């Protein structure tokens, strides 16, 4: 049986159009799925929409729609976007799905029966957009610590989840599973900011609005969004349903990708809910930082929002994904600017990658009628060095990606691309050709093609179409030469023929024009 790999994205609030920030989480998760698929695992990816709560009720009303009509429309919009971004999810869960609602009610009842949920009265400061109560000490400058907006005093009868009961168990778990939270500093934030000062019990129901899942035994209460939302990762697999085969197969999740703003919910409440259900915890929760604009957060009112469609329609999907993954390191915020986008495109994609392919393909055509017969061994001194460099880079890549350092792992691939370009200058194939040093020339060409093959495999999880295009242009048809495992060998290419006239995979952009274009198109569509 194949090893399994279950990866999830957060379920998105369908309260507006998704910008490149929200797409980032999904692109990250999708890349991890593709990578593990390439490694031969049986993968399952879940995404979806978080459709209940006061905020959605209000937005729907503003749009003149009933909540359900509104969320139906928005879920379609999300699916449309993921299709355009070629996101290979296996299931799309909506919190309004019957399969979800039924199980959330069951889970609530289990917690009640166990005494983990009790009835009380909640009085606190409430952030309406975040649907979260805060204590005074949690506020930052008197405002919501998560979104920075105003909070209002509220009081209501409510059910609470006894988080305190599990605090020590959670700390022990953190301690015994150093790889659970990535990057590690997020764990310390949780401990220092929320657990050590004393974990508050979590309010898990509301009576102040209607749009949600009712508590079966007390239907004037609606189950508050976080208990409703977090359990999606289980209900989508059929947990506690008549058919729980997916749950048996894929749980616990291998990786759950989330943004820093929802770290507290996923690193504290979520593991505690799982503990209360006696379920194993996910192997890794990866918390990524945010894509910012030069002047701070993206916001419609500032007019600095950039949507994925704007980039994809003009520059293609792979360039868009490359920018996102490369420019936003998981552990730090990244900045979107038209200048940085055009620069990455022109330097990394066009100068480095596209030109390497182009130069190589045209040399194979010019010197060997497009043919590469087979491995020549290391004839030039630099051949050996190049082969060793390749092995080192692949090892570095693996180490970084295992630690979910995606931007850095891409950097290592680009170091390999740069080294391969340099190899052309060092070996000067045009001089070898002029001097009739055919064996040396053959060796040079073989090494270039082989490196391009490896580069294509390495970038495949992140830039599928580009990888396929490269493999096609260099004439790699044998499926055995496209596998992850084939990164381990250097000598297996035999009797291939490169394409006669390859189109450049990325064409140089006019810097000024494109910066202008991007500036004009921020917040436009
Ligand atoms: N519905 C909750 C999640 C529930 S999961 C059980 C939610 N939804 S959200 O739509 O507001 O955010 C979804 C994801 O998008 C989060 O991981 C968030 O961090 C991410 N991003 C939103 N803006 C972002 C950027 N500007 N940059 C990167 N990611 C960002 O929270």
Give tens-digit pLDDT for 36-72. Answer: 999 999 999 999 999 999 889 989 999 999 999 999 9
Highest averaged pLDDT of the listed ranges 223-227, 415-419, 520-524: 415-419
- The residue-averaged pLDDT of 136-140 equals 87
Residue nearest to ligand 1 atom 2, measured at CA = 12
Terminal Cα-to-Cα distance of the chain (whole angstroms)? 47
How far, in Å, CA of 328 to CA of 131, rounded? 28
Identify the three-state secondary structure at position 184: coil
How far is ligand 1, taken at its centre, from the CA of residue 258, in Å? 7
Is the pLDDT at 525 greater than 50, yes or no?
no
> Which long-range contacts does 517-520 make (Cβ < 8 Å, 24+ apart)?
517/314, 517/338, 518/306, 518/310, 518/338, 518/341, 518/342, 519/338
How many degrees, rounded to 5, is the angle at CA 486 between CA 484 and CA 487?
75
Which is more confidently placed, 156 or 57?
57
Q: Give the chain's count of helices (H) and strands (E).
A: 21, 17
Give tens-digit pLDDT for 454-469. Answer: 999 999 999 999 999 9
- In this structure, the number of other CB atoms found within 10 A of the CB of residue 418 comes to 15
Total-model pTM = 0.94
How far is ligand 1, taken at its centre, from the CA of residue 14, in Å? 11
Pocket test for ligand 1, best of 25, 49, 233, 265 (most atoms within 8 A of CB): 25
Residue nearest to ligand 1 atom 19, measured at CA = 259
Token pair for residue 360? Answer: 């190589």
Q: Which residues contact 63 (CB under 8 A, 6 or more apart)?
A: 70
């Amino acid at each position: 049986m194949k090893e399994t790999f279950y990866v999830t994205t957060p379920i998105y609030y369908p309260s507006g159009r998704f910008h490149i920030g929200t797409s980032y989480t999904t692109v990250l998760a999708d890349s991890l799925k593709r990578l593990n698929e390439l490694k031969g695992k049986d993968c399952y990816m879940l995404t979806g929409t978080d459709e209940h709560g006061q905020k959605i009720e209000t937005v729907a009303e503003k749009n003149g729609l009933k909540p359900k009509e509104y969320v139906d429309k928005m879920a379609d919009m999300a699916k449309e976007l993921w299709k355009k971004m070629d996101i290979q999810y296996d299931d799309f869960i909506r919190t309004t799905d019957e399969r979800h609602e039924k199980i959330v009610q069951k889970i609530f009842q289990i917690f009640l029966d166990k005494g983990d949920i009790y009835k009380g009265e909640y009085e606190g400061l409430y952030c309406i957009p975040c649907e979260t109560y805060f204590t005074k000490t949690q506020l930052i400058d008197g405002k919501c610590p998560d979104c920075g907006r105003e909070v209002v005093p509220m009081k209501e009868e409510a059910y609470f989840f006894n988080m305190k009961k599990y605090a020590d168990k959670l700390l022990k778990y953190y301690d015994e599973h150093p790889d659970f939270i990535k990057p590690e500093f997020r764990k310390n934030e949780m401990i220092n900011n929320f657990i050590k000062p004393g974990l508050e019990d979590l309010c898990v129901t509301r009576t102040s609005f209607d749009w949600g899942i009712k508590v079966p035994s007390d239907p004037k209460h609606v189950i508050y969004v976080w208990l409703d939302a977090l359990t999606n990762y289980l209900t989508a697999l059929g947990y506690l349903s008549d058919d729980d085969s997916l749950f048996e197969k894929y749980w616990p999740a291998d990786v759950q990708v989330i943004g820093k703003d929802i770290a507290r919910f996923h690193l504290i409440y979520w593991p505690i809910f799982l503990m209360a259900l006696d379920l194993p915890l996910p192997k890794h929760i990866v918390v990524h930082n945010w894509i910012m604009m030069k002047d701070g957060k993206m916001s419609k009112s500032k007019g600095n929002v950039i949507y994925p469609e704007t980039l994809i329609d003009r520059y293609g999907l792979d360039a868009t994904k490359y920018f996102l993954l490369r420019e936003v390191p998981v552990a730090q915020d990244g900045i979107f600017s038209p200048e940085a986008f055009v620069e990455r495109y022109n330097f990394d994609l066009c100068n480095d990658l596209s030109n390497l392919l182009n130069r190589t393909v045209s040399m194979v055509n010019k010197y060997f009628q497009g043919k590469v017969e087979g491995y020549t061994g290391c004839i030039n001194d630099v051949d050996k060095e190049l082969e060793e460099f390749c092995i080192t880079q692949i090892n570095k890549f693996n180490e970084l990606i295992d630690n979910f350092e995606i931007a850095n792992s891409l950097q290592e691939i680009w170091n390999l691309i740069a080294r391969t370009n340099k190899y052309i200058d060092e070996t000067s194939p045009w001089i070898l050709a002029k001097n009739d040093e055919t064996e040396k020339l053959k060796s040079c060409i073989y090494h270039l093609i082989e490196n391009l093959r490896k580069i294509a495999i390495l970038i495949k999880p992140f830039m599928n179409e580009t990888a396929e295009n490269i493999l096609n242009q260099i004439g790699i048809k044998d499926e055995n030469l496209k596998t992850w495992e084939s990164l381990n060998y250097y000598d297996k290419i035999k009797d291939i023929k490169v394409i006669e006239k390859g189109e450049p995979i990325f064409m140089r952009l006019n810097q000024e024009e494109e910066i202008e274009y991007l500036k004009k198109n921020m917040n436009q569509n």
